[in-house]
Structure 1
C-alpha cells in the first residue's frame, strides 16, 4: 500500500540536500546553468520557494511510503487564487522506479488537489527526461509550451 505522509523536519533536511544537488544537475544537463554556479543557484531557488522550509504556507511536502519503506518524496504548491496545484517535485528512489509507483503518486496527488479545491494540476518536466514525460502523458497531462534550444 502506497501512502503520502507529511514530511518531517529530519526527512526534509535530507530531502533538501539531495533535491538541491539533483536540481542543479538537471539545470546543467538542460543547458540552463553552468556547472560552476549551478549549486549556488539551486540553493537560491529552494530558499526562494521554501523560505520557511516545510512550514512554508501553501506548500505540501510528502514522503512516499510503500508500507513502512520510504521510496521517495513529492512537493506540491496550492495556488488558492488560481485554484491550481503546481507539482514541483516527484522523486521515486531508483530501486523503486519502473514499477508503477510514479503513476500511483500522480493519482494520489490528483486526489489531494481535489481535497484542496484545485481545478487544475500543472508541472514542469525537463526536455531530456523522457521517462517522466511518458508517465505524465500516461495519466492525462498534455504539453502547454515548448522551449527549444540548439547549442552552437
Structure 2
C-alpha cells in the first residue's frame, strides 16, 4: 500500500467524484436539500482548495496497491508547525471496500501524517456511514463527540 501525490490528470476525476459524494452525504444527513446540494458542495471545494493541488497545507494523495489506484485521500495541516492533521476525505474504489484495504490505507495515512510531524490525526464521519466508522475505530480512532438530530415533522 502506497500513498502517492495526486497527479494533475487524476485531480479532476477525483474532484468530480468527491463533490458528488459530499453532496449526497449532506443530503442523506439532512444538512442540505437535494436541489442545492451539488452547488453547495462545489462551493465548499472551491473555498477549501482555491489553488487545487497546490493549495498550501493540503495533501491530495492517491492510494495505490501494486501501482493500481484503489482510492484517494485528502489530508490537511492547518500550518507548517501544527501537530494535528485532519482527513478531509477518504475514498476507496467500490471493488476494494470490505476487504481490509481501508484499514491498511488508514494505517498508511497515519504513518504519512506522523512523518510530517503530526501527533494527532482527526476526521469527520457522517452518522449514516457505519461502514467507515467501523474501519476508523479498528485503526484506533476514538469518538470525540456526538452531534444528534431528530426530525420533528
Q: TM-score, normalised by structure 2?
A: 0.96
1:39 and 2:50 matched: no
The residue that corresponds to 1:79 in the other structure is 78
Q: CA deviation at 1:74?
A: 0.6
Deviations 1:22-81 (A, max 9, x none): 100000000000001000000010011111001001100111111121111011001234
Q: Distance in 1 between matches of 2:129 and 2:5?
A: 27
CA–CA distance in 2 between the matches of 1:107 and 1:20? 25
Question: Is 2:93 the partner of 1:93?
Answer: yes
The CA deviation string for residues 97-137 of structure 1, in whole angstroms up to 9 with x for no partner, is: 01111111111111111111111000000000000000111
Q: Secondary structure at the match of 2:43?
A: helix
CA–CA distance in structure 2, aligned partners of residues 105 and 131 of structure 1: 15
The number of residue pairs the alignment matches comes to: 151
Structure 1 residue 49 and structure 2 residue 48: aligned?
Answer: yes
Partner of 1:118: 118
Stretches of structure 1 lacking an aligned partner (at least 5 in a row): none
Matched residue, 2:8: 9
Taking only aligned residues, the RMSD between alpha carbons, in angstroms, comes to 0.9
The answer to whether structure 1 residue 108 and structure 2 residue 112 are counterparts is no
TM-score for both structures, normalised by structure 1: 0.96
2:133 pairs with 1:133: yes
**Structure 2: 5+ residue runs without aligned partners?**
none
Give 1:82 deviation, angstroms.
3.7
Tell me if 1:69 matches 2:68.
yes
